[in-house]
Chain A
Amino acid sequence: MSELLLELADDELILGWRDSEWTGIAPFLEEDVAFSSIAQNEIGHARAVYELLARERGTTADELAFDREPAEYRCSALVQLRLVPDWARTIARHVLYEEEDERRVKELMSSEDAEVAGLAAKIDREEAYHRIHAQMWAERLRGEPRYEAALEELRPLVSRRDGTSSEFAGLWEEMTMVRRSVPGAAW
């Protein structure tokens, strides 16, 4: 259970980071707003799950999120990719991620641990809007060669968790820079 929660939190943190890379440069204003809002939600979910795990492991959410070595992250290869400015691949990732995430969150909702089940139910309520957004785009891009090719390319990465990529290393550097510069800093 603890491993599944860590995978979820790491996926949401890293995807939230990647989605936020669209802020200001999405193809049009509505999508700028949508991806920024989705990113904010995903990072909120990551934080809540890290907090739950941190209590179990006697640490803090910030330590779990930012003080691990790159190789210790459990996020999938799918979310590690930096996809800006490729919209077709971004939407393909969004669609594939939301499908897999829905399966996982529903599983957690039936957990015997009431705290896990309750948090998963809350996450699910918010994710419902991400799924609608992903489905809307899937409809819009269905049959488009670049989008279809991106789905084929990215599908195998959904369940690949065999370590981190060089693209992840760059994100990790950027994401942990502040905490590494002042160890133990709290805000």
Chain B
Amino acid sequence: MVITADRVREALAEIPDPEIPVISLVDLGVVRDVAVEGRRVHVEFTPTFLGCPALETMRAAMEEKIRELGAEPDVEVVLDDSWSTDRITPEGREKLRASGFAPPAPRQAGAPTLVQLTSQVFRCPYCGSTETRLDNIFGPTPCRSIRYCESCRQPFEQFKTI
């Protein structure tokens, strides 16, 4: 089979996020570029958070998928500001919501502020209520905050905007 960039993307779309397996690496938007040159596949990969422990796992999973296609992987980790939670695809956002994570608010020009975090409206992924409040800026992984729904009295995780 001829290896094309589209074929590689399809294969990478089968890799679940190691910490939030409901969405794939492609849904998460961390695959910035795929270039095929003969048997060699170059992937530009942008980490979500620099301290994310899943980084190496993601990299190894991508290399394995590319080898399964019969190609030689060359995964480059790009450490710049090009990944943002805005890169999460609409399908990815819907999958997050369906499994109890509130998707991130859109990135704004300036850095987030406490006022924004406490005043922005986030919908409870369980009951749909907007009566929710920030409980903790930090959560079980660097990319998540904890919010609390006053309507169904359920805490839930929310993706931080980055």
Contact of A125 among B53, B111, B141 (CB under 8 A): B111
Judge whether B113 and A40 touch: CB under 8 Å.
no
Judge whether A122 and B51 touch: CB under 8 Å.
no
| Cβ contacts under 8 Å, A151 to chain B | none
- Which of the listed residues B81, B82, B83 has the most CB atoms from chain A within 10 Å of its own CB? B81
Q: Shortest Cβ distance from A95 into chain B, in angstroms?
A: 14
| Cβ contacts under 8 Å, B146 to chain A | 30, 33
Q: Which residues of A contact B (CB under 8 A)?
A: 30, 33-34, 36-38, 40-45, 47-48, 51-52, 115, 118-119, 121-126, 128-129, 131-133, 135-136
Q: Shortest Cβ distance from A9 into chain B, in angstroms?
A: 12
Judge whether B79 and A41 touch: CB under 8 Å.
no
| Cβ contacts under 8 Å, B114 to chain A | 132, 135-136
**Cα distance A37–B143 in the bound complex, in angstroms:** 9
Judge whether B117 and A132 touch: CB under 8 Å.
yes
Judge whether B79 and A38 touch: CB under 8 Å.
no
| Cβ contacts under 8 Å, B112 to chain A | 128-129, 132
Judge whether A44 and B135 touch: CB under 8 Å.
no
| Cβ contacts under 8 Å, B113 to chain A | 132
Q: Shortest Cβ distance from B98 into chain A, in angstroms?
A: 25
Q: Shortest Cβ distance from A100 into chain B, in angstroms?
A: 17
Judge whether B50 and A123 touch: CB under 8 Å.
yes
Judge whether B138 and A118 touch: CB under 8 Å.
no
**Cα distance A42–B160 in the bound complex, in angstroms:** 17
Q: Please judge, given known A-B contacts A41-B50, A123-B50, whether A48 and B79 are in contact too, CB under 8 Å.
A: yes
Contact of B80 among A122, A126, A129 (CB under 8 A): A122
**Cα distance A33–B139 in the bound complex, in angstroms:** 6
Known: A34-B138, A132-B114. 17 other contacts (CB 8 A): A33-B139, A37-B139, A37-B141, A40-B53, A44-B50, A45-B50, A47-B50, A118-B79, A121-B81, A122-B80, A122-B81, A126-B51, A126-B162, A132-B117, A133-B138, A135-B114, A136-B114
Contact with A along B103-131 (1 / 0, CB 8 A): 00000000111100100000000000000
**Cα distance A38–B79 in the bound complex, in angstroms:** 19
| Cβ contacts under 8 Å, B79 to chain A | 48, 51-52, 115, 118-119, 122
Q: Shortest Cβ distance from A49 into chain B, in angstroms?
A: 9
**Cα distance A129–B160 in the bound complex, in angstroms:** 9
Judge whether A44 and B52 touch: CB under 8 Å.
yes
**Cα distance A132–B116 in the bound complex, in angstroms:** 11
| Cβ contacts under 8 Å, A126 to chain B | 49-51, 142, 162
Judge whether B136 and A41 touch: CB under 8 Å.
no
